[in-house]
A and B are shown apart, each in its own frame.
Chain A
Amino acid sequence: MILDGVSVDFTIGTVFRSRKIRVLDSIALDIYEGETLGVVGESGSGKTTLGKTAAGLIRPSTGRVIYKGTDVWSIKGDEWRIFRREVQMIHQDPYSSLNPAHTVRTILTRPIVKHRIARGSDAEELAIKLLRRVGLTPPEDFLDKYPHQLSGGQRQRVAIARAISMKPRLIIADEPVSMIDVSLRAGILRLLAELREELRMSLLYITHDLATLRYIGAKGRTAVMYLGKLVELAPTEELIEKPLHPYTQLLLEALPEPDPRVTRSKRLKELKELDIPSIANPPPGCRFHTRCPLAIKGVCDMIVPEMKEVSRDHFVACHLY
């Protein structure tokens, strides 16, 4: 999938007085087959919007979302149905991603039947197989349950089962474990990693937690977002070992590690400003310049930096390079 110069504007306000806010600005990102692409950003960075745009839920105001060579918003009919099947999403909140009025059976079999993957009792057989694969055993016990009878981790597994029932080529996972208990996260992450290998899917993993990203995306690339723009893109390991963009460096220094010696030795560089600017009124030039300790007056506050390849496969949007 290619996000080519994608920008997304949201309109806020009432029918009579509205304003446009550019939530994503000129995103250019490629997602390759079979790779795990991490997207890291804090709340307000636009990462969730990026995920929804890639999933075809939000139409970009400028730019195109290209899947397998065609613009996603110009395909119809069978091609559209294929796109809808092959790109799936897993949400952050297991409590609202399952319809509370449906049983697990309904939740799993309806999409299977809709996409003509199986019918009737075959669909139910498939649902049982899927439940077993995601670790919900004995599967028959789960079919008649309603979401409110399941724990958060179990619901998330049902959501995963639903996604893989479509045999997707790309799964967009938006903070899939942030609402799950810490001790159970590894299970869900491991499940995603296994399924990724088995089904040879691409995974777009959106999060603010670099630690879980490192675990699941170690072999892939990661993009860092700030206030609606991409600021750095590199292989995950390299991004974490040798971050180039000051924001990425800041993020890595600030992340608390479950290791007292490591986390207390991390010192934050002096920040000019603590508050993150509003996305409605982004700073001119490089959006990070208001907080960047290395900002160059006259350059960073006026000119928007372009993404440049600084070393092999490592892109940064920063005037320092």
Chain B
Amino acid sequence: MTMANTLLSIKGLEVVYIAPKGVVKALRDINLEIYEGETLSIVGESGSGKTTLLLSIMRLLPPNSRIIKGSIALKAENGWIDLTGLDENSMRRVRWSKVALVSQAAMNAFNPVLRIKDHFIETARAHMDKFDRELILREARELLKLVMLEPERVLNSYPHQLSGGMKQRTLIALSLLLKPKLILMDEPTSALDVVSQKIILGVLRDLKGKIGSTIILVTHDLGIAAEIADRIAIMYAGKVVEVGSVDKIFYEPLHPYTKALLRAVPRVRFFSEIEAIPGEPPDLINPPSGCSFHPRCPLSMEICKREEPPMIEIEPRRPVACWLHAKR
């Protein structure tokens, strides 16, 4: 595989939420490179920070949260744009045309008084200086067909007339309309039945090649990641603990959390003994000292309690944050 170029470079990102009980450190020193044309799946459980990461990229964090440090650099025609430094107007121009977001919250953002075809048209109008209405509608029909929806019926419907699954698929089609370079997805198949899910994941896999988009797909479901990802980043307690190609992560996991996660997930095809990870997810207001996984890690050592392990590239593009692998 040729070395693809970096599309999005996140360095040292730290994000906090201000909650009544205290300051929640949702993202702690995130460093991640996303390459052009790949599908990166970010896998983590609740509290890992994966949704916060997507919202930070889109600068759609709720008012009680802040990006306190770090940069999110997006490659553009003439150099790099630091998304953390953009004002709201500039960010709005980036959103949807360069970076699209498909998420549960976005599904609720359908305007109840507009038909779906108006949604497509309005989206185009907001981001393009000149646009051909007919052309947009033709594109919309193609995209809706791709997600296995009946174009005419859906275009003429109001959002409330569509089921949850249909809305989710419509949102995916809408996100592809402006051919964004980067598509962020947060559990994009949660409202779909299992069969639709498999088909849509397949569609996404084929499509991104045609459009040339890069996809970041956040999920807690390892099955979905296995289905569609080229690379996987595992997150725990607001940090990225391991990144690697999909084969490497599933068949040669390095970080103890990754290994434990794989052991905790049951499989259908054959009966496997599954093991829960002991303990509870960490409190992000007062995370454990050192490596935040150490209270639950079967292989934790003295140093794990004292110091946070650095992210070290064991192989090219294979960073792991664990003291077991840091002695290099």
Contact = CB atoms under 8 A, between A and B. Distances in A.
10 smallest beta-carbon distances between A and B, as pairs = A256-B223, A187-B276, A258-B222, A186-B276, A183-B277, A254-B198, A211-B266, A186-B274, A274-B148, A215-B266
A259 B196 contact: no
Contacts of B223: 211, 255-258, 263
Interface of A: 42-43, 151, 153, 181-190, 208, 210-212, 214-215, 218, 237, 240, 250-260, 262-264, 266, 268, 271, 274-276
B234 to A, nearest CB: 12
A237 B148 CA distance: 33
A151 B274 contact: no
Contacts of A255: 194, 198, 223, 268
B266 A212 contact: yes
Contact of A151 (B196, B264, B265, B280): B280
Contacts of A237: 271
B195 A183 contact: no
A289 to B, nearest CB: 15
B307 interface: no
B275 A268 contact: no
27 contacts: A153-B280, A181-B46, A182-B220, A182-B222, A183-B45, A183-B277, A185-B264, A185-B276, A186-B276, A189-B274, A208-B194, A211-B223, A211-B266, A211-B267, A211-B268, A214-B268, A215-B266, A240-B268, A251-B195, A258-B265, A259-B226, A259-B250, A263-B226, A263-B227, A264-B227, A271-B195, A275-B166
Given A42-B194, A181-B45, A208-B194, A190 B262 contact: no
B199 A251 contact: no
A208 B193 CA distance: 9
Nearest to B296: A183
Given A268-B199, A274-B195, A274-B199, A186 B227 contact: no
Nearest to A208: B194
Interface string B142-185: 00000010000000000000000010000000000000000000
Contacts of A271: 195, 199
Given A43-B193, A190-B276, A214-B271, A182 B226 contact: no
Nearest to A179: B46
A67 B109 CA distance: 48
A183 B268 contact: no
Given A153-B280, A183-B261, A183-B276, A257 B271 contact: no
A182 B227 contact: no
A257 B277 contact: no
Contacts of A268: 195, 198-199
